[in-house]
Homo-oligomer: A and B are copies of this chain.
Amino acid sequence: MSPGSPGDARVTDSPAFDALSRIRVVLSRPSHPGNIGSAARAMKTMGLSQLLLVQPRRAIDDEARALATNGLDVLESARTVDSLEEAIGGCVLAVAFTARTRELSHAPADVRTAAGEGVAAALKGDGVALVFGNETAGLSNHDVLLCNRLAHIPCDPQHGSLNLAAAVQVAVYEARMAAIAASGRAAVRPREPELAKLEDLEQLYRHFESSLGQTGFLDPGKPKRLMERLRRLFGRAQLEREELNILRGMLTAWDETLARQGTRPPKVD
């Protein structure tokens, strides 16, 4: 191994490699414990350690432990949670990996670009999650919309389905490559704004929904499409905390103005 190569221990001293250990891998409703074990191994070899499982269909078993090999500690410290919301709580960037086309969602980035963004965010100290769906069904639209990035692993269109653990492997490999690139950069970084947390974004969307409901602009019977558009817009914009506060303040001002004028159910045309 040549000195200073990515396999060299000295390289891991960089903050970029600490950043990797702050990136979560979230598996939503995985079916096969073996894939969880293989994902843990993939993470460990690339320097990631935070594994979260949302409602795994089966408990971690001997096969999972055998496949984890060196990543056994990652597997055994994996946190099981009840919802994706909980898994990505505290994050400002959640990247949904998908093989499917979704008409109404964020434009997908390729995995290299998404991993680079993830490492950059983690380097700033922000919480980052790489989110993978079930082996058969992938991520639900609901899950995708809880994330603010959509990523795709380029593959042959006719045969385009990677195994779950293989997809995790490619993603964490790209994260490590991004960390290597970042570690080679100058130590001085531009000041970056504080980004909004995902749970605060959820509150914003709920606020939009209730405020717009009062005006009749949002059809309470069919709120979905409008709310998806707003999610896509503000997800893409990567809202800063201060901007989110402005939007919340704006909605509150409308709410209060309507309340002052006597709240009445809106006439829907």
Contacts and interface: CB of A to CB of B under 8 A. Distances in A.
A261 B243 CA distance: 29
A212 B261 contact: no
- Mostly, the A contact residues are helix
Interface residues of A, number: 84
A55 interface: no
Interface in A210-269: 212, 214-217, 226, 229-230, 233-234, 236-240, 242-243, 246, 249-250, 252-254, 256-258, 260-262, 264, 266-267
Contacts of A110: 5-6, 186-188
A249 B7 contact: no
Contact of A191 (B107, B157, B266): B107
Contacts of A261: 258, 261-262, 264
29 contacts: A1-B101, A2-B107, A6-B110, A6-B152, A6-B155, A7-B152, A7-B154, A7-B160, A12-B156, A12-B157, A38-B166, A41-B166, A42-B166, A44-B156, A46-B155, A69-B161, A71-B159, A109-B188, A110-B188, A112-B187, A152-B188, A169-B170, A170-B170, A212-B250, A215-B257, A217-B253, A230-B246, A233-B237, A258-B261
